[in-house]
A = this chain, B = another copy of it.
Amino acid sequence: MLVHDLETPSVLIDLDRMERNISRMQALCDSAGVKFRPHIKTHKIPEIARMQLEAGAVGIACQKLTEAQVFIEAGINDIVIPYNIVGESKTRRLADMALYNRLAVSADSPAVIAGLSEAAKVNEIALRVLVELITDQNRAGTTVEGAVDLAKRIDADEHLHFAGLLVYPSYASIRPALQETLLRLHESGIGVDVVSGGGTGAAYHVQEVPEVTELRVGTYVFNDWMTVRGGWATLDDCAMTVKTTVVSRPTEDRAILDGGSKTLSSEVMDGGYGFIVEYPEARLYRLNEEHGYVDVSNCDERPQVGEVVHVVPVHTCVVTNLHHTLYGTRGENIEVEWAVAARGLVW
């Protein structure tokens, strides 16, 4: 099938660009001497994870057990879950997965560790646990003091194995806390297998944080308007575009696209919901579920009803999650149709 024959809106992945993104990030990690562990949230597709592994990645990262299950069933068995798994049914599922797969999970509180321990005990395993340090992101994670305490609890628990430290994102600002934690763990005689960093932006500064031994990165595989605006990619690195059609030109200055928040998500950056490749001066300024509002007043040429335009979305990961299928293209050809296998898995 040709791209031309594909209905709109559809999500296209430029295979040349994606392949280049994959090999470039692997080369960056190789030259920095860190292991690379792609976060599959961006694509949610086992076939793409396999390309990342073939390029040299050591395993994958994903946030949810149900996502991990999809990739395990596809034969990918080295998985880090950088997320607090809470509740007995989930920790038991995790412990079951850990029987036959190389899993590690993060934790940032005694309550989370107690739950993991209980489940691991039932299965008589030593579950690998990374302790999450808090960063400038101010999301989950604990302090240096807390991390040392948690590492000791894990180390003392016969059903848990202290696997190391985890941060997100791993910018240089986290170094003092990382160094202090590592020093104190060393003084306590607790070994650290892994220091897991992450973030597409942070990846390009990985050499500034030599403590990091492994990187979790997602967005780089497709890139998006956010990574372009962050200075981490150019428009030529954006593998994902959304093919849309202009369905209305209600005024001289406005065009309406057949892709809205159900297609592009509601993520917004600097007042824009995406970048229109064919009309760089246009502004995608508002979305309803099925309508994209475009201000074309700054465009010399203006699109007509029926015209096809391609949108680089603000945030590629959430777009993937909205669609049943991604279409891998090479020039005008659709070379592959991928079902988004781990789409919408929130447990």
Contacts and interface: CB of A to CB of B under 8 A. Distances in A.
B140 A291 contact: yes
Interface stretch (A208-216, A233-241, A248-256, A328-336): A248-256
A227 interface: no
Contacts of A9: 346-347
Interface residues of A, number: 58
Given A248-B84, A323-B344, A267 B261 contact: yes
Interface string A123-167: 000000000001000111110000000000000000000000000
Contacts of A64: 290
Interface string A319-347: 00111100000000000000000011011
Contacts of A293: 138-139
A338 to B, nearest CB: 15
Interface stretch (A20-28, A29-37, A45-53, A106-114): A106-114
Nearest to A325: B344
Task: Give how many copies assemble into the complex.
Answer: 2
A109 B303 CA distance: 14
Q: What is the predominant secondary structure among interface residues of chain A facing chain B?
A: loop
Interface string A281-307: 000000011110100000000001110
A268 B268 CA distance: 11
Contacts of A90: 7
B249 A318 contact: no
Contacts of A324: 344
Contacts of A246: 86
Interface in A61-89: 63-64, 83-84, 86-87, 89
B266 A289 contact: no
Contacts of A108: 248, 250
A318 B262 contact: yes
A41 interface: yes
A318 B86 contact: no
A145 to B, nearest CB: 13
Contacts of A291: 139-140
A295 to B, nearest CB: 11
20 contacts: A8-B87, A63-B290, A64-B290, A84-B247, A84-B256, A86-B245, A86-B258, A87-B245, A109-B248, A111-B304, A115-B306, A140-B248, A141-B250, A262-B344, A265-B266, A289-B318, A290-B346, A322-B344, A323-B344, A343-B344
